Structures are given as structure tokens and as C-alpha cells.
Amino acid sequence: MNWTGPVGSLFMATALATSASAQDNWSYSGSNGPNSWGSISSVCANGSMQSPIIMEGTEAVLLNRLETNYNVSPVDMKNDRRTIRFDYAPGSMLRVGDKTFELTGFHFHTPGEHRVMAQSFPMEIHFDHRAADGTQARVAVLVKEGSANMAAEELWPHLPIEPDQTSRRPDVKINARDFMPHSGTYYRYMGSETHPPCTEGVNWYIFKEPVEFSKEQIAVMNGIMGENARPLQPRNNRMILDALPN
């Protein structure tokens, strides 16, 4: 009787690993690491507008404010082995000028992926948005070590720590805006998704003001995900706008 449990779980683990590798065989280290992503999607290796990049040599311009009109939402979390995804209920919008995007979710990277001149960050949060025509807008929040983030205090006890684990907590509600800085100044450039398929045409908005998380909060996220940052990519001829909001 005793051996059926372990053998059963071993079989399940093998089946899961096989189906996962057939679908998306990439990771952040080893033979499936970033240097091999071009074999999954050629734009990862050959694209000219890849992300992340360094924010430097920017052009100051007057740009529209990022207007976040987000709802308070219950959290729906999934550990997908590379990050923890927080899916957001429909109906939360980001407006930039006359363009409107819907927030679909957010996720974390440790360490941060973008850099601001010589400064790197221990963590970065990406907020994924999509317009009705499919255009992607990604808002990045850089995280530095400091005092504890109160929204994270509520969420962290419920994080799905095991690979492929999901965590649905209708009783724990958050507003994604609580992970963003107060100041609205940002950098803007055109880039890509920072993981396969590395799709280009992503509108990046990177808040200049970092937010603070405690050392422990950053360590918890890093302990679950490990290192999940793509190396810096060539800027090529792209402009980086330094937005002074109207």
C-alpha cells in the first residue's frame, strides 16, 4: 500500500514535466536560458526592438499622464514556474491620451530587468495591459529595498509557493494601483515582451520613482521564483522619452 502514493506522484510529475516542455521549453538558466530563446521564437534573437534596455540618453518631452482607473479586485495567483502571475478581473483601465488599455494582470521579476543609467533594482513589477485592437501596454514599477509595502503584506501569506500551484482568495482584495508610486513621471519607449515569444510593438511605460518593499518581502518573492530577469538587450536606434506629464 505504501508504495502506490510515491509512484503515483512520480508518474504525475513526469507527465506534467513532459507536457510543459512540449508547450514552452524555456527558462532563465542552463541550456534553455535566454541565449537559446531564438530557437523558440526567432525575434528573441533577431528582433531590433527587444526589452529590457537601459534608461539613458533620454529625450524630455511633455506627454500624457498615465491615468489608472483600476478596480479593487480579488486575487487569482498562479505559480507558473517562472514567475507568480496575478490575474486581474476585467474592467480595470489604463488611459494614456486617447488610448485605452485594460489591465489583465501583473507579475514580478527578481532582480529587476530594466536599469536606470547605472542603477539596477532588486525587483521589478510588470502590469500587463491590452487595448481592444490588441496593442500591448506594459507599465513597469522598479522596486528598491526600504520599508514594507502594505499591499504586499496582505498578499504574501497567500503566495503559491509550489510550481504550478494556484491560489484563489476571494476574501483578499487589492488594488494594483497600490503597487505603483505616487509620482506620475515615467520613461516611455517601444520594446517587446521580455520572455518568449518576445513579441515586439509593446508600449513600455516605466515609472521613474521606485516603490519600496522590505528586504524580507523581496527575499520571499526571490525565494519562490529564483532569478527571472532577461539580460539587457541592444537599444539600437530607439528613442527613450522622459515624460514630464501635462
Residues of the shown chain interacting with Zn ion in the complex, contacts defined by CB under 5 A: 126
Angle in degrees, CA 84, 99, 177, rounded to 5: 40
Q: Which is nearer to Zn ion, 80 or 209 (CB)?
A: 80
Amino acid of residue 216: E
Phi, psi at residue 216, to the nearest 5°? -65, -40
Which residue of the chain is nearest Zn ion when measured via CB?
126
> Which H/E stretch holds residue 217?
helix 215-225
Q: Which is nearer to Zn ion, 126 or 188 (CB)?
A: 126
Q: Which is nearer to Zn ion, 59 or 227 (CB)?
A: 227
Q: Among candidates 122, 110, 62, 52, which has minimal Cα distance to 82?
A: 110
Residues sharing a CB contact under 8 Å with residue 190, sequence separation 6 or more, in sequence order: 49, 200, 201, 202, 203, 204, 238
Q: How far is the CB of 7 from Zn ion (least distance, A)?
A: 37
Q: How far is the CB of 229 from Zn ion (least distance, A)?
A: 9
Q: How far is the CB of 194 from Zn ion (least distance, A)?
A: 5
Q: Which is nearer to Zn ion, 1 or 108 (CB)?
A: 108
Q: How far is the CB of 9 from Zn ion (least distance, A)?
A: 31
